Structure 1
Amino acid sequence: MSDFELYRLSDEHTALREAVRELAEDKIAPHAADVDERSRFPHEAYDALRAAEFHAPHIGEEHGGVGADALATCIVIEEVARVCAASSLIPAVNKLGTTPLMLAGSADVKNRYLPEVARGAAMFSYGLSEREAGSDTASMRTQARSDGDEWVLSGQKTWITNAGQSQYYTVMAVTDPDGPRGGNVSAFVVHADDPGFSISEPERKLGIKGSPTCELYFDECRIPGDRLVGDVGAGLKIALRTLDHTRVTIGAQAVGIAQGALDNALAYVKERKQFGQAIADFQGIQFMLADMAMKLEAARQMVHVAAAKSEREDSDLSFFGAAAKCYASDTAMEITTDAVQLLGGYGYTRDFPLERMMRDAKITQIYEGTNQVQRLVMARQLLK
């Protein structure tokens, strides 16, 4: 492969983008406004993604999946987010929930759960954050105590994406309250029907309204001992390694939202006329569009590089994953805001999708670590 080919998507990745874009525009986009308006889960998108095997493309062929690489998974998420950010959380959260298993789970755990997700029979969510342990994950209070061959979980988790729709949850809990901070957390798989497990009503949110966000409650929730993911005490390390990989997918989601906003803004300014000409002919508008497109392409390239590093598990993935997520989400917020501005009063109405995209973009600066935390992650890597 020549050096020049390194900066071009492969034919397979290009074909994948075209296939996902066609599906998204045909099967997902028509329902996006209604999903947002009614704050309902996008079942149409889930069915379409499962039928095309785009719902969890990251799962390997050995577990019944299509074995998409990290870049291909980002392309899927980007193209779905371009028309509906809430729907893009189906493949994104399936990856988030199952990555701990893929990184650290035993062969038995992988064989038990990954094939079910791969064939679209179940979704997986991820339980790390708590009310008092958001950015400071090591201060979590949810506990799991050993009781014979079982574990008993007590506590709660907050901001759990797709809770209530997922059948399985990867949950981090303290297994040694007196142990060293950060080295006393373990990871478990919890089933939606486990006794003592329940979820709250969905949060009322600014954006991504089609993706339910709930609290998880564990009231002496008893689970079998073979639900442990990785070693006892390795949970926080597994959680942070997971985020190194999945922050890249949030970057891809942000790029998709931004691309959707730019596409809609371009279509509008070419049709809208003022002072006898299309407003796209005005230099001020052209400068805005140029800046939007320039920053979008820079964000996309950062995501692609981070995805390649994720696939290889490079030692500097922490920096690049955080950088891609941080830059892409800041860019998405800026581009969606400018897109609303370009449409003027129409951008502020629900007659156009720009206000939804602007609301959806905001969460990409917050979840999987706020962008302030991403800057801390990057700085720590630089100072090592």
Structure 2
Amino acid sequence: MISFQPTVDEIAFRNLARNFAKEKLRPLARDFEEKRQVSDEISRGINELGFSALELPADWDGLELPLISQVQIVEALSAGDLGGVQGFRGPGEAASLFRLVPAHPLFNKIKKTTREKTWPAVAFLNGNKPNHSSSLRLELQSSGGGYLLNGTSRPLRMAKYAGYLLVGLKDTTGEQLLIWLEDHGQWRLLEGDYRLGLLASGFSKIQFHDTVITDEQVLAKGHEAKVLLSQMLTRTRVLEAAKEVGAMEAALDHAAVYTAQRKAFGQEIAKFQGVSFTLADMSIKTQAARHLVWQSALKVDDRDPEGEAASQSALQFAHQSLRFVTDCAVQLLGGHGYVQDFPVEKWMRDAQAQIIFTEGESELLLDHGERLIVGEERGGLHDFIQNVAASNPG
């Protein structure tokens, strides 16, 4: 039997995160969006409390917490403001790779800066994501003992501020590579308003033109790169899904309080059947998503072979639930739901941007299906199909 009972330390960390989110993040959420960045004061507070180092390895002066502990903390933070959480400058998705290969010599420079608590931003370019736009294509071609990289990426979180770039990409022969870039001269930023939400998250496209990639900049290639990328994505999926659960909790709580106070025809609108049923559905979706995230975190911590499939299932269900819960919150507030005096319209926009920025629902299903076809992870097929069927009966 799986136990979701938090430890004493987890409760203390979660309460600390919840208080910070309520007192610091939520009141400044609109300011972050207007200025298109999280303030230095908030970033310092995040660093001082250790929230930027949850995933970092211990020999980097990180906390190296289990995923089951991390998901509770990032969920509590995201309940304050998902956009603010995604706007923190730091190691981002690359933290999971640092944890997997902490002693890699390519990380020596950034390892020193993180120990000094300067926390430079790292952007992650997953070139393996399906891309149907001819203008957003990347090509990595072998050339003279190294590689030439050309093309334009999708908008990447933190690309605007990134001092480092982690690239996962296959070359023209189909070989998987993980590449680490430090020199800004190797890429060009194409800034713009690429999102309706997560506006403080530093989104920007990155363009390469005959960028020379030397063997010294290659972290791993072939099977090793494939395994590392898979393990990294498994961990980041769980963490991103936890952030989405936090955003659901915020939208649900706000809608519940609003409908309990707003009156129509002489009674609180929360007492009307249509409203109460909607709130119940929102609560069920939020709690189900939370349980899937926690279950996947435990599987990854236990190095369960089904951990990757569980992470895909958790993120796919979180995407669907996040869209449903934030849309319902806007509708339950009626006309107020679309007014910036109320936070739900921002949360709905942030939710859609979050789903686009991470692996989309169709991408998760396609990737999982391909692995099932070739015979991998068959043990988790039944649970995965049940989760998908439950979230999308049609």
The two structures have a TM-score, normalised by structure 2, of 0.84
**Equivalent of 1:185 in 176, 179, 185:** 176
Query: What amino acid maps onto 1:255 in structure 2?
Result: V
Query: What amino acid maps onto 1:263 in structure 2?
Result: D
How many angstroms apart in 2 are the aligned matches of 1:63 and 1:71?
21
Query: What amino acid maps onto 1:89 in structure 2?
Result: Q
Name which of structure 1's ranges 203-212 and 353-362 shifts more when overlaid on structure 2: 203-212
Whether the 8 Å contact between 2:189 and 2:205 is mirrored in structure 1 is yes
TM-fit CA distance, 1:372 = 1.3
Query: What amino acid maps onto 1:216 in structure 2?
Result: I
TM-fit CA distance, 1:152 = 5.4
TM-fit CA distance, 1:233 = 6.7
Whether 2:76 is the aligned partner of 1:85: answer no
Whether the 8 Å contact between 1:195 and 1:221 is mirrored in structure 2 is no
Once the two structures are superposed, what CA deviation does each residue of 1:19-62 show, in whole Å capped at 9, x if it has no partner?
00111122211110122244334544322211211123100211
Partner SS for 1:213: coil
How many angstroms apart in 2 are the aligned matches of 1:165 and 1:310?
31
- CA gap of 1:203–1:147, structure 2 versus 1, over 3 A, is farther
Once the two structures are superposed, what CA deviation does each residue of 1:37-91 show, in whole Å capped at 9, x if it has no partner?
4433454432221121112310021111112221222223222221221222256
**Equivalent of 2:331 in 341, 349, 362:** 341
- CA gap of 1:115–1:280, structure 2 versus 1, over 3 A, is farther
| Counterpart in the other structure of 2:14 | 17
Once the two structures are superposed, what CA deviation does each residue of 1:163-209 show, in whole Å capped at 9, x if it has no partner?
1212111013445x3x3x2xx23111112x44332211133311111
Query: What amino acid maps onto 2:287 in structure 1?
Result: E
Whether 2:275 is the aligned partner of 1:285: answer yes
| Counterpart in the other structure of 1:113 | 110
- CA gap of 1:62–1:91, structure 2 versus 1, over 3 A, is farther
| Counterpart in the other structure of 1:155 | 151
- Aligned pairs for 1:302-321 (under 5 A) are 302-321=292-311
How many angstroms apart in 1 are the aligned matches of 2:324 and 2:89?
22
Partner SS for 1:318: helix
TM-fit CA distance, 1:104 = 4.8
Whether the 8 Å contact between 2:245 and 2:289 is mirrored in structure 1 is yes
- CA gap of 1:157–1:313, structure 2 versus 1, over 3 A, is farther
TM-fit CA distance, 1:223 = 6.0
Whether the 8 Å contact between 1:319 and 1:381 is mirrored in structure 2 is no
Partner SS for 1:160: coil
Partner SS for 1:159: coil
Whether 2:100 is the aligned partner of 1:97: answer no
How many angstroms apart in 2 are the aligned matches of 1:56 and 1:146?
38
Query: What amino acid maps onto 2:181 in structure 1?
Result: V
Query: What amino acid maps onto 1:296 in structure 2?
Result: T
How many angstroms apart in 2 are the aligned matches of 1:222 and 1:101?
24
Name which of structure 1's ranges 193-202 and 100-109 shifts more when overlaid on structure 2: 100-109
- CA gap of 1:281–1:233, structure 2 versus 1, over 3 A, is closer
Whether the 8 Å contact between 1:55 and 1:90 is mirrored in structure 2 is no
How many angstroms apart in 2 are the aligned matches of 1:92 and 1:314?
31
Query: What amino acid maps onto 2:126 in structure 1?
Result: L
**Equivalent of 1:265 in 240, 255, 263:** 255
How many angstroms apart in 2 are the aligned matches of 1:205 and 1:289?
28
Whether the 8 Å contact between 1:197 and 1:216 is mirrored in structure 2 is yes
- Aligned pairs for 1:128-143 (under 5 A) are 128-129=126-127, 133-134=130-131, 141-143=138-140
| Counterpart in the other structure of 1:69 | 66
TM-fit CA distance, 1:300 = 0.3
How many angstroms apart in 2 are the aligned matches of 1:378 and 1:185?
18
Whether 2:181 is the aligned partner of 1:168: answer no
Whether the 8 Å contact between 1:133 and 1:140 is mirrored in structure 2 is no
| Counterpart in the other structure of 2:387 | none
Whether the 8 Å contact between 1:248 and 1:325 is mirrored in structure 2 is yes
The two structures have a TM-score, normalised by structure 1, of 0.86
Percent identity, aligned pairs only, is 24
Once the two structures are superposed, what CA deviation does each residue of 1:271-322 show, in whole Å capped at 9, x if it has no partner?
1122222222333322221221111111001001111122233211221111
Whether the 8 Å contact between 1:64 and 1:115 is mirrored in structure 2 is no
- CA gap of 1:85–1:141, structure 2 versus 1, over 3 A, is same
How many angstroms apart in 1 are the aligned matches of 2:209 and 2:372?
42
How many angstroms apart in 1 are the aligned matches of 2:246 and 2:177?
34
